[in-house]
Chains A and B, each alone.
Chain A
Amino acid sequence: AQKITQTQPGMFVQEKEAVTLDCTYDTSDPSYGLFWYKQPSSGEMIFLIYQGSYDQQNATEGRYSLNFQKARKSANLVISASQLGDSAMYFCAMRGNTNAGKSTFGDGTTLTVKP
């Protein structure tokens, strides 16, 4: 079984500052992918960034980076230079190689960017 834990129900950050959203995971699969999605109030889930379990380097996509610590089973999302439009719900998710059709999501973190 897979499990994703996001321990921060809500986070606040000042505009232009960086923020880290926490994610820990648990799986027995040897190969897996970790994903972060953003869900604005409009409801659409938007893919942000991906990290593979065998990737040696942390993933980066523009202002998003993923702090992957495999031994600690953590995959924290770092957003640099926060913008007002970053205010949304953020979900950490994973897919494992034994049942890759089924993604497991955490309960999300609501990020509010203050002007």
Chain B
Amino acid sequence: GAGVSQSPRYKVAKRGQDVALRCDPISGHVSLFWYQQALGQGPEFLTYFQNEAQLDKSGLPSDRFFAERPEGSVSTLKIQRTQQEDSAVYLCASSLAEALSYNSPLHFGNGTRLTVT
């Protein structure tokens, strides 16, 4: 694939529903990152993976948020019992370099816009 692919592009969930957001990174990219972007603000870190290992999940807002990357490629961000404050754009990014390479740019997908009603 040419770039990072995220699906769905838009998701509307009723409060209390569970949602799953998918990210297909660029083929061969070792590192994968999830960010949350509120309207009019910059992205906020959620979690990142190197291959299948989740190295840092300190940015996940609560235990309702869970991310996985079981085979080191596709990743899923799951939000249980969604709340209105979860409404945001969820951005996925990947990088060819190892996750701890501070000089490596991130390649982002188009994001999933989640609206919780």
Contacts and interface: CB of A to CB of B under 8 A. Distances in A.
Interface of A: 4, 31-33, 35, 37, 42-47, 50, 52, 91, 93, 95-97, 99-108
Contacts of B109: 44
A100 B42 contact: no
Interface string B16-54: 000000000000000101010000111111001010000
Contacts of B102: 31-33, 95-97, 100
Given A100-B99, A101-B56, A101-B100, A43 B42 contact: no
Interface in B39-81: 40-45, 48, 50, 55-56, 58-59
B41 A47 contact: no
Contact of B56 (A91, A102, A106): A102
A33 B111 contact: no
Given A43-B89, A43-B111, A101-B56, A108 B105 contact: no
Interface of B: 3, 31, 33, 35, 40-45, 48, 50, 55-56, 58-59, 89, 91, 93, 99-111, 113
Nearest to B55: A101
Contacts of A45: 43, 91, 93, 106, 108
B35 to A, nearest CB: 8
Contacts of A32: 102
Given A101-B55, A101-B100, A103-B45, A47 B110 contact: no
A35 B108 CA distance: 13
A104 B91 CA distance: 14
Given A33-B103, A101-B99, A44 B43 contact: no
Given A32-B102, A107-B41, A107-B42, A99 B108 contact: no
